Structure 1
Amino acid sequence: MTTASSAASMNAIEERQIAKANRLHAAADEASSAGDHRRAERSCRQALAIFERIDGQRSPDVANLSITLSRILGGGGGDRAEALKAARRAWEILEPLRGSTPELSLLRFLARQQLGVALREAGDFRGARPLLLRAARTAERRFGKDSIELALALNQVGILCKYTSRYEEGLTAYRRSLAILRRELGASHPELASIHHNLGGIEHHRGRFRKAAVQAARSLAIREAALGRSSPLVAADAAAYAAILAELGRRREARALYTRAHRIFLRVYGERHYEVAMNTHNLAALDASSGRLRSAETRYRRATELFTQAIGRDHPDTALARYNLAALLATLGRPEEARAHCMHALRVFEGAFGKTHPHTVSTVDLLTELDGLSGITTSRRRRVRRR
């Protein structure tokens, strides 16, 4: 075979491999949209391996797939550390590249935004904020004030604002995002379910439970119509709605929705997963509010273990579970045992949110009661619950 023939043969093989990688990338996106994060991760890693072999470790194609991998790992409540690692890799590849082609500019925008998302999911809210705000500004400048890209970027800003108690800023971002998506996609498009879900979440945080319930019910209805009852994304909507119904005193309905969601999460993800941890935590809170204190203790302890395995001992969600366990132990007359959990939660909350955040203030109040009393009554206990 001549050199020219050999080169042509190699090029043909490479082109087939690239086409295969692109099909795998598309399959990963499709599986992720359907909530099948295991299949999405598998397809994405296969595509990534092909481009690494063809282009090397630091090509734009590798960065693009690293962005997708980070989104899949984080969006599925999977390995947050690996999601952050993939996002950092993408940014480290793209940030030093010179040139301003539309393709490269778009990749830089997506990499910056995904790094902000991954930092937020890892509990680094201060690191996430400038990246997500800049991504939103870039989306508006590059794609326009009515673009879907801007709507999705605003959604990410809104999520961050919920966690950091910037409620009015978050509501503004969500409402603007919802208006764009409704105009561009229609009121029943599945993408709108995420915004309704998040609007319900921020109203839940603010204690405006009836408003939260309207948004959560809408999210569940849209997503269930699009994906069916067995999707893990639908299960996440059901669990969020359940948390709000519990606050409204509709505990039987809440427990049914939690149980339904729990079965789906276990089937799709297995037990050691973020969504299972959060649902276990919320079932514990429901048990506590229903007077099932021993069951609540068991579930809070299990939720703490699962959160630690899924996202680490110093993540704010792990600290939240430990705070609620501390409050319950105090109610059960075990203040010394409660104090150790409360101290850990305080350290994490102060580091993540600062001294004036409601979680930090509630934890300081609980510590003060623990220091002054041998136990606290249920009526004085300050419980924080969040999905």
Structure 2
Amino acid sequence: MTLFERYKERLKDLDPELITAEDEISLKEAFRHAKEIMEPKGLISWFVTASEPFYRAAAWEVLLPIYKELLDTAERELGPEAPETASALNGLAGIYRYMGKHEEALKLFSRALSIREKSAGSEKTETGDTLSELGILYYVMDRQEEALSYYTRALEIQEKFLNPENLGAVRTLNRIAFYYKGMERPEKAEELFVRALRLLEKLAEKEPENRKVMGYTAGTLNNLGVLLSEMGKLEEAEETYGQALKLQEKVYGKEHPQIAQTLNNLALLYFQTTRYEKALILYTRSLEIMEDMGKTEHTGFATTLNNLAGVYVQKGRNEKALELYTRALEIRERILGPDSPEVAKTLNNLGELYRILGQHKKALPLYTRALKIYESTLGPAHPDVGTTLNNLAGLHESMGEYETAIDLYEKALDIIEKEYGPDHPYFKITRNNLLGLYEKMERSWRG
């Protein structure tokens, strides 16, 4: 067995959620030895397939230099219009998209599409894949009409090539569903998730034990569950999460990051419906899975810590909540940086807990820091700014600083009304807080 074959064997059946540093070394070594024995066509074809789990794991530091080298090799050895050049362009463009280099990604995807339409024809699966990638790029660039146009073109092609090993149509349907969810058309998003599930059901009838089909089905069910929960269809959401968990346990066993995520989503549903004991059990199990899998330095782990802390607040176990919020804050600051909106969320939660505990001096700098982060990252008119202003107003009210509180409540109301309108629960809560303060002040004057 050659060195290439040894490293290639180590890369078989990798789970994107469980990629290790050793796996990354194996990919680099396999690529190094593959260059010695493969022609450019075979090298690019092999690497695109071998790197897929690393792509899904967002291992950009490993993939970026290799894809740059592959593109250089393809253009030099095979020519700028070769199908392999398109593959390298497509891979590199996806990395740039995830890195936020949208204009560079757009140029590369557009080149890849042009090559694929000329060489493979407009009715080939590779063409559909690039169209779908362009769709998601335009979506994150906030060019919504173009995003939908590319998604639609992609789906027309991908549905013709749907099989258990090529689930591009299912991916694109999920992406279009998220598009409509972002456009606040949840019914349309629900319709598309259901359509994706129907395609997967047809494939499952042919190959009921196909792990890839089961994995995609579980992922789509999870996405649908989140949507149904946000739509207030809580019983349907609970059932959908249950179906996702059943499939995930069949594919991955009892412990896997995907299972932890679904448990987290279901626990949130239980929290929202005041079933705190059930939420506590699921959040705790989710954390245990992530700890056992070595996923503690992960944003998902911090989110679960944050959510579990909220359960403990509801149960009156404030010291435990304080411990978990503090731990979540440390992880988020380390991974995302001190000025991330996710950091601001935990700062807000910590501030609220200290306010409940009557420790106003500790709460004030936390709310103030959260407000600065939101204003600088999301803009001064963002709803999260309004929510934080409401919290800060409540703190000043608790401190007896009524004039400051009134000013903050009014600013919060202005922001929330512009974003959501006067009938939204957030607006009503803030308005009631302000009216309650006026009544309190009036009573004190009378007294």
TM (norm. structure 2) is 0.64
Q: Contact between 2:318 and 2:353, CA under 8 Å: does it hold in 1?
A: yes
Out of 85, 89, 102, the position equivalent to 2:161 is: 102
Out of 141, 157, 170, the position equivalent to 2:198 is: 141
Q: Which residue of 2 aligns with 1:29?
A: 56
Cα distance in 2 for partners of 1:16, 1:44 equals 26
Matched, 1:263 2:330: yes
Aligned in 2, Cα 1:92/1:272: closer, same or farther, shift over 3 Å?
Answer: farther
Cα distance in 1 for partners of 2:171, 2:442 equals 55
CA displacement at 1:254 relative to structure 2: 2.1
Cα distance in 2 for partners of 1:63, 1:368 equals 53
Aligned in 2, Cα 1:346/1:290: closer, same or farther, shift over 3 Å?
Answer: same
Q: Contact between 2:131 and 2:153, CA under 8 Å: does it hold in 1?
A: no
CA displacement at 1:93 relative to structure 2: 1.5
CA displacement at 1:248 relative to structure 2: 1.9
Cα distance in 1 for partners of 2:254, 2:288 equals 12
Q: Which residue of 2 aligns with 1:318?
A: 385
Cα distance in 2 for partners of 1:333, 1:274 equals 29
Matched, 1:130 2:165: no
Matched, 1:335 2:394: no
Out of 79, 89, 93, the position equivalent to 2:150 is: 93
Q: Contact between 1:293 and 1:328, CA under 8 Å: does it hold in 2?
A: yes
Q: Which residue of 1 aligns with 2:368?
A: 301
Q: Which residue of 1 aligns with 2:252?
A: 185
Q: Give the residue type in structure 2 aligned to 1:138.
A: R
CA displacement at 1:237 relative to structure 2: 1.7
The percent of aligned pairs where both chains have the same amino acid is 23
CA displacement at 1:343 relative to structure 2: 3.9
Q: Give the residue type in structure 2 aligned to 1:29.
A: R
The structure number with the bigger radius of gyration is 2
Structure 1 residue runs without a partner (length 5+): 1-11, 71-81, 378-387
Q: Give the residue type in structure 1 aligned to 2:54.
A: A
CA displacement at 1:184 relative to structure 2: 4.0
Aligned in 2, Cα 1:271/1:17: closer, same or farther, shift over 3 Å?
Answer: farther
Q: Which residue of 2 aligns with 1:367?
A: 434
CA deviation profile, 1:128-173 (whole Å, cap 9, x unmatched): x134302221122111298443432332343345455554443343
Moved more, 303-312 or 133-142: 303-312
Cα distance in 2 for partners of 1:200, 1:333 equals 37
Higher RCO by CA contacts (8 Å cutoff, separation 6 or greater): 1
TM (norm. structure 1) is 0.73
Report SS of the residue matched to 1:144.
Answer: helix
Moved more, 48-57 or 174-183: 48-57
CA displacement at 1:331 relative to structure 2: 1.8
Q: Give the residue type in structure 1 aligned to 2:56.
A: D
Q: Which residue of 2 aligns with 1:83?
A: 140
CA deviation profile, 1:339-366 (whole Å, cap 9, x unmatched): 3443454455556666665434322321
Q: Which residue of 1 aligns with 2:208?
A: none
Q: Which residue of 2 aligns with 1:54?
A: 112
Q: Give the residue type in structure 1 aligned to 2:200.
A: F
Cα distance in 2 for partners of 1:167, 1:90 equals 30
Moved more, 294-303 or 204-213: 204-213
CA deviation profile, 1:2-25 (whole Å, cap 9, x unmatched): xxxxxxxxxx87886787677666
